[in-house]
Amino acid sequence: MTVTAKRLKDLRKGKGVTQKYIADLLGVRESSYQYNEYGKSAPNKKNLIKLAEFYKVSVDYLLGVDELPLDWKPIKKESTAREELIRMIDSVPDDKYEAFSKLLRSAIDIVKQA
């Protein structure tokens, strides 16, 4: 496994997101991103920049040239309820989003009234 592949995997797991989530962020197929994490291919320049911005690290870090800043800490695997809810919302397919949104608004109204 290359340094880049290992760092991509470690950063993703530290953020608590899936390979599919990152693939969608980059606009590539999940299998294409998996190849990046397995070290079979490397992200292109544009996607390296996107990944660095997403993880708040330098491209040089992703490439193995630099180490992380001392103040960087990965997000704990135990996510908060809010973070989990955001991930679930992000995973709703576009064609189902409107119905889901109405249902969620109704549920929020009920909770506010209780």
In whole angstroms, what is the distance from residue 48 CA to residue 94 CA?
26
Q: What is the pTM of this model?
A: 0.59
The amino acid sitting at 77 is K
pLDDT at 69: 55
pLDDT at 33: 97
My answer on whether 58 and 87 are in the same domain is no
pLDDT at 70: 47
In whole angstroms, what is the distance from residue 72 CA to residue 68 CA?
7
In whole angstroms, what is the distance from residue 91 CA to residue 97 CA?
10
Residue 51's domain comprises 3-63
pLDDT at 37: 95
Q: How many domains are contained in the chain?
A: 2
Q: What is the pLDDT along the chain (114 residues), one digit of tens a residue?
A: 899 999 999 999 988 999 999 999 999 999 999 999 999 999 999 999 999 999 988 898 999 888 765 456 665 555 677 777 777 788 888 888 888 889 988 988 898 887
My answer on whether 12 and 57 are in the same domain is yes
| 102 is a domain residue | yes
| 75 is a domain residue | no
| 68 is a domain residue | no
